[in-house]
Structure 1
Amino acid sequence: MTFDPAAHAAAMVGHHYRVSDFYEIGREKVREYARAVLDDHPAHHDEDAARGLGYDGLLAPLTFVSIVGMIAQRKLFDEVVTGYDLSQIMQTDQRLVFHRPLEAGDRLICDVYLESFRQAAGSDIIVTKNIISDVNGELVQTTWTTLVARSGGEVDENIAHAVKDVMMHVAP
């Protein structure tokens, strides 16, 4: 019998896992990320500016959580929702609820839920929910990510390779 990624994904709705280790937000990583996304707010680069706003460390840009999300999503497709070619997956929507700002020094834990799965127009639509908290259990962010995947058909290996090199970069 042939493995059907779509049927497997549908059967896994409701599945939950916790990423095995915490992610510690480093001061220099905050600065690096802020430069990469062209966010020049002083609180991302200067500790005195962040302290002036009432924080202990540099504030991470709002989208910094995407680093944690990439780690969590990789495990999702490696271990839970298997059988998909990552070059055939595209994020189409994301909703973020901010419970408090991310600061350098935070140690984050990510719980991932496969929230829903459906098929439409020849594609598989997968929604995940990530609950990010600190190691003390304080809720930091909740995110929902919608992904559209293809679980059938041929994949052009040249395109798959190009997409992997451009879009699937994993932070060290």
Structure 2
Amino acid sequence: MVGFGYRMPDHYEVGREKVREFATAVQNTHPAHYDETAAHALGHPALVAPPTFVAVIGLIAQRFLLEQIVTGFDLSQILQTDQRLIFHRPMYAGDRLTVDVCLASFRHTGGIDIFVTETDVTDDTGAPVVTTLTTFVGRTGDADPDRLRRIRDVMMRGAAPGPHP
């Protein structure tokens, strides 16, 4: 499967209000994310999406990969361990983005699978916007209930042992 790639079947249109909502959610208060006049004053053609906005698009593409292509993983048992973002230009409100995803590498070691995806986001002219290289670690098959309980304990109680509702 290494080298397998696909294009998401539809483009993603960056919405003006989505840019504002995302900026608020990540507590990025820069005026260029909220006010078109401020964005224009900085030389941008529209509201500028925060750099991490690519996660919105990436989530859609990665989910498709994990549910339709690299199957057999319990999505709750996959951990993103690394990500490299290469920005070619900012994302703007009104951009119509196309997403191409490729399984860049895959290896099985010590009972776990480690794989890297490369995601290329381009605008409607085909010009690159952002490229991401994301590393995931996961296990196929059924999850160990005891391990899940220990993980939940750490996540929900800050490592406090014991039962949870």
Note whether the superposition's TM-score is higher than 0.5.
yes
AA at the equivalent of 1:134: D
1:101 counterpart residue number: 90
CA drift at 1:82: 0.6
2:70 counterpart residue number: 81
2:52 counterpart residue number: 63
- What fraction of aligned residue pairs are identical, expressed as a percent? 56
Structure 1: where are the runs of 5+ without partners? Answer: 1-11, 164-172
1:48 counterpart residue number: 37
AA at the equivalent of 2:39: A
* Residue pairs, 1:1-172, within 5 angstroms: 12-156=1-145, 159=148
Distance 2:25 2:45 in 1: 23
Greater CA radius of gyration, 1 or 2? 2
TM-score normalised according to structure 2 size:
0.86
Cα distance per residue 1:17-52 (max 9 Å; x no partner): 000000000000000000000000010011110000
TM-score normalised according to structure 1 size:
0.83
Cα distance per residue 1:62-103 (max 9 Å; x no partner): 000101100000110111101111011010000000000000
Equivalent pairs, count = 151
CA drift at 1:119: 1.9
AA at the equivalent of 2:34: H
Structure 2: where are the runs of 5+ without partners? Answer: 153-165
AA at the equivalent of 1:147: F
CA drift at 1:153: 5.0
Distance 2:30 2:68 in 1: 38
AA at the equivalent of 1:91: Q
Q: After the TM superposition, list the runs of 4 or more consecutive aligned residues in structure 1 that deviate by more than 4 angstroms.
A: none
